Amino acid sequence: MSDLVVRRIGRLTTWARPVVPDAALVIRDGRVEWFGPDRELNATGHLPELDAGGAAVLPGLVDCHTHAVWAGSRRDDFVGRLSGAPYSPAGIHSTVAATRAASYDELRAFAQRRVATMVRNGTTTVEVKSGYGLTVDDELKLLDVAAALQGPSVTTTYLGAHVVPRDRDRDDYVDEVVQTLPEARSRGATWCDVFCDEGAFTVDEARLILTEARAHGFGLRIHAEQMTRTGAAALAAELGCASADHLDHVSANDAAAMAAAGVVAVLVPVASLYTRSGRWDHATTLTKAGCTLAVATDCNPGTSWCESLPYAMQLACLEMGLPVETVLRAATLGGAQALRRDDIGHLGAGGRGDLVVLDAAHEADLLAHLGVNGISRTIVGGSPNG
Ligand code: NIG
Ligand code: FE
């Protein structure tokens, strides 16, 4: 955890106060100590200084849904969809085969490269799921890889319930996922997730797994209503999940139940684009119901080969029709809420010194300027990373 003074900030977004023009920000021991007009900055002794050169600064981006640990490629699925083949979770099996065949070191190198790209694109906290191992040992290997990743803050999620492996009996596999929970927890996973959809797990299976997970101290998340409406979002409300993610097929009643239960709605618009679902209206349904929104990359080889959270944010604006400020909040504060963290996603006093310096004078330009990396510096815990 470092000390840093950021000066000559053109526009500083903290979410603690309105945007501060011509601002400075002081980080001590990795925490925000002070921010305000640059001209009011008191002498800071020998703290290292960063000159933002008039650029806009935002809280570091929080990517609360990724599957960043995998080997192999799904380019054939991608090509197939261009000639009209629909997305199928069955594609997960080919990634599982490639991932099982890779060593720990290979997997770590692949994932580390992806996470470094995320940081260059502004991510300072990332959630990483297992889910491409699907044996006890392979799932634990993926959790170990996730826990070893360097750069951003990492939180890990056990997703043994991604799909039922081809060679396994359903009930036996669900039982194995449940039996693996204590070991997954001891490898540092704090979250448990289930892919609840046609071709993956049923609502009853998800309820069983997540209820057991809660008893073992996990926080809960769920892949819900992605390809079909199954009732997974209502289950998220029933169980008090921290988030329900995807939600392309969510109903107004589901959304109301989520809002009442404080379940954060995680939008993953790159997956909607990549699978060519053509569905964007769920963001409006969720907003109307009063849900807290987050936006995430869902970085994975099958439905969202994308490390850039700003790209997901741009789709949230342009395809889902969400306003700029809503999307900036969703990718920072919303992600933090989805991870039940109050020390990230904002730059109020005491918050973590995680921030991004944009390659632009105004924060809206991160969304308006397409096809470039709009981030010029990413600072994690007060230490310049990228
Ligand atoms: O979040 N929906 C489930 N899991 C991933 C896709 C996994 C894959 O196709 O490899 C997702 O979209
Ligand atoms: Fe996902």
Residues 49 and 92 in one domain: no
185: left (phi over 0), alpha (psi -120 to 50) or beta: alpha
What would the mean pLDDT of 370-385 be, rounded to a whole number? 94
Residues 369 and 283 in one domain: no
Residues 127 and 272 in one domain: yes
pLDDT tier, 1 (very low <50, low <70, confident <90, very high otherwise)? confident
Residues framing ligand 1 (Cβ under 6 A): 67, 91-92, 95, 195, 223, 226, 271, 298, 300-303
72-111 pLDDT tens trace? 999 999 999 999 999 999 999 999 999 999 999 999 999 9
* Last-in-domain residue among 303, 321, 338: 338
- CATH code of residue 362: 2.30.40.10
| Predicted confidence (pLDDT) at residue 285 exceeds the cutoff of 50 | yes
Residues 15 and 77 in one domain: no
Query: What's the pLDDT score for residue 63?
Result: 99
Residues 45 and 155 in one domain: no
* Distance in Å, CA 180 to ligand 1 centroid: 21
110-159 pLDDT tens trace? 999 999 999 999 999 999 999 999 999 999 999 999 999 999 999 999 99
Dihedral Cα 333, 338, 339, 343, nearest 10 deg: 20
- CATH code of residue 65: 3.20.20.140
Find all residues with CB under 8 Å of 155, minimum gap 6, and list them: 125, 126, 127, 128, 190, 191, 339
Residues 262 and 329 in one domain: yes
Query: What's the pLDDT score for residue 386?
Result: 41
pLDDT tier, 176 (very low <50, low <70, confident <90, very high otherwise)? very high
Which is more confident, 20 or 384? 20
| Predicted confidence (pLDDT) at residue 70 exceeds the cutoff of 50 | yes
* Distance in Å, CA 128 to ligand 2 centroid: 10
End-to-end CA distance of the chain: 16
Most informative mutation of 162, 248, 267, 279 for ligand 1 (most atoms within 8 A of CB): 162
pLDDT tier, 71 (very low <50, low <70, confident <90, very high otherwise)? very high
Looking at ligand 1, which residue's alpha carbon is closest to its atom 12? 303
Q: Write down the mean pLDDT value for the chain.
A: 97
Here the contacts of 202-207 (C-beta below 8 Å, separation 24 or greater) are 202/230, 203/230, 203/231, 203/232, 203/235, 205/161, 205/170, 205/174, 206/161, 206/232, 206/235, 207/235, 207/238, 207/239
- Ligand nearest to C-alpha 69: 1
Residues 99 and 149 in one domain: yes
| Predicted confidence (pLDDT) at residue 194 exceeds the cutoff of 60 | yes
Work out whether strand 20-28 and strand 4-12 pair parallel, antiparallel, or are unpaired: antiparallel
| Angle, helix 252-261 to helix 282-289, in steps of 10 degrees | 50
- Ligand nearest to C-alpha 296: 2
Identify residues whose C-beta is under 5 A from ligand 2, the ion.
298
Residues 112 and 187 in one domain: yes
* Last-in-domain residue among 338, 357, 376: 338
Task: Provide the number of structural domains found in the chain.
Answer: 2
Residues 228 and 355 in one domain: no
* Distance in Å, CA 44 to ligand 2 centroid: 44
Alpha carbon distance 124, 121 (integer Å):
9
Which atom from ligand 1 is nearest to the alpha carbon of 275?
Answer: 12
What would the mean pLDDT of 309-330 be, rounded to a whole number? 98
Residues 365 and 229 in one domain: no
Query: What's the pLDDT score for residue 385?
Result: 59
Residues 16 and 136 in one domain: no
Q: How does DSSP classify residue 352? A: B
What would the two tokens of residue 307 be?
Answer: 């490390």
What would the mean pLDDT of 169-175 be, rounded to a whole number? 98
* Distance in Å, CA 65 to ligand 2 centroid: 6
| Predicted confidence (pLDDT) at residue 203 exceeds the cutoff of 70 | yes
Residues 37 and 67 in one domain: no
What would the mean pLDDT of 190-211 be, rounded to a whole number? 98
Query: What's the pLDDT score for residue 45?
Result: 81
The range of the structural domain enclosing residue 219 comes to: 61-338
CB atoms within 10 A of CB 259: 19
Q: Where are the alpha helices (DSSP H) in the chain?
A: 75-82, 92-101, 104-120, 136-147, 170-186, 203-215, 232-239, 252-261, 269-274, 282-289, 309-318, 324-329, 335-338, 365-368
Which atom from ligand 1 is nearest to the alpha carbon of 70?
Answer: 10
* Last-in-domain residue among 338, 356, 372: 338
pLDDT tier, 282 (very low <50, low <70, confident <90, very high otherwise)? very high
25-47 pLDDT tens trace? 999 999 999 999 999 999 878 89
Closest by CA to 76, choosing from 312, 304, 301, is 301
